[in-house]
A = this chain, B = another copy of it.
Amino acid sequence: MTASPAPRRFDVIAIGNAIVDIMAPATDDQVAALGLAKGGMTLVDSDRAATLYDAMGPAREISGGSAANTLAGLAALGADCAFIGQVADDQFGRVFAHDIRAGQIAFDTAARAGQPQTAQCLIFVTPDGQRTMNTFLGASQFLPAAALDETMIAASRVLYLEGYLWDPEEPRAAMRKAIAAARAAGTQVAFTLSDAFVISRHGDDFRALIANGEIDILFANEHELAALTGEDDFHTGMAKICAQVPTVVVTRGSEGAHARRDGADAHVPAEPIKRVVDTTGAGDLFAAGFLYGHVRGLALEECLRLGAVCAAEVISHYGARPEADLKALTGIA
């Protein structure tokens, strides 16, 4: 007779960039004149960041970071969450740490002294609501493997990782270590592909992780799915990846989202939205809603519905963190 396993302390623990978003409205002409890849995420150095900031209109600062945004949504829905990510010991670092802790998310990664600064993402939001992101990774790229708390990973149902953080070397090593810790502990590994350009840089790594069966839950949009699988046809790409990953969730913008889990399929249409104000965080909050349903053992259709409602909320206002009461909005209250 064996003892029953201890209950998991966290529903989801995530490793991600610890970023403060600096957001301003912009025209399509301005985005073009600055040579920005509209709709994408581009890594920038501090000089380029300074140039872009000088060109930006009056802005506002709101905590961001893809996985951190997802946790903010999960916590707002009532999930127990923890975050691992590297801020600097500066004002933006204190802003990030405040906002994530104020969202009832455990966050214990010690701030890093000295330069570089806390990561910043300069986001130009065009009148169509599309966001064009320019990320200065700063301190975020120095997340050391030593910052991982493997007992916390083992105490979580799901380890959630963002593809964006695969670029810098130290966090990549930390994430590989985290995956190993999760697999050893029976913690599910969820991964979001983040951006098609990230896949162009690291697709081989991602495909190897998937082929080795190290990913339990994969989040992507249709462009990332195509970049990962090399298949332009959505259904062909979906079939290819679903042969290797137990749970696959793919968003298709206004066409809604598809998921396959353990051989079963589901689809949800996009939520009707009065006005798309700012798409920043749409995918992050979709993942939040889906994961909430997943860790609560809800039906696949319901997981997708929760994702769609959370995504719709976040694109109805500036900023990638939820503002409305997500429990009430989703009807799970």
Interface residues of A, Cβ cutoff 8 Å to B: 22, 24-25, 53-54, 56-63, 72, 90-92, 95, 98-100, 102-103, 117, 319, 321, 323
Contact = CB atoms under 8 A, between A and B. Distances in A.
Given A53-B98, A98-B56, A102-B56, A91 B63 contact: no
A285 to B, nearest CB: 14
Nearest to A99: B58
27 contacts: A24-B102, A25-B323, A53-B98, A54-B98, A56-B98, A56-B102, A57-B102, A57-B103, A58-B63, A58-B72, A58-B99, A58-B100, A58-B102, A58-B321, A59-B95, A59-B98, A59-B99, A59-B102, A60-B60, A60-B61, A60-B62, A60-B319, A61-B61, A61-B62, A90-B90, A90-B91, A91-B92
**Could you say how many copies of this chain the assembly holds?**
2
A269 B92 CA distance: 42
Mostly helix, strand, loop or mixed at chain A's interface?
mixed
The 3 A-B pairs at the shortest CB distance, nearest first, are namely A61-B61, A91-B91, A58-B99
B62 A91 contact: no
Given A60-B62, A91-B92, 15 more contacts: A24-B102, A25-B323, A53-B98, A54-B98, A56-B102, A58-B98, A58-B99, A58-B100, A58-B103, A59-B95, A59-B99, A59-B102, A60-B319, A61-B61, A90-B90
A281 to B, nearest CB: 13
Contacts of A63: 58
A258 B321 CA distance: 41
A25 to B, nearest CB: 8
A57 B117 CA distance: 24
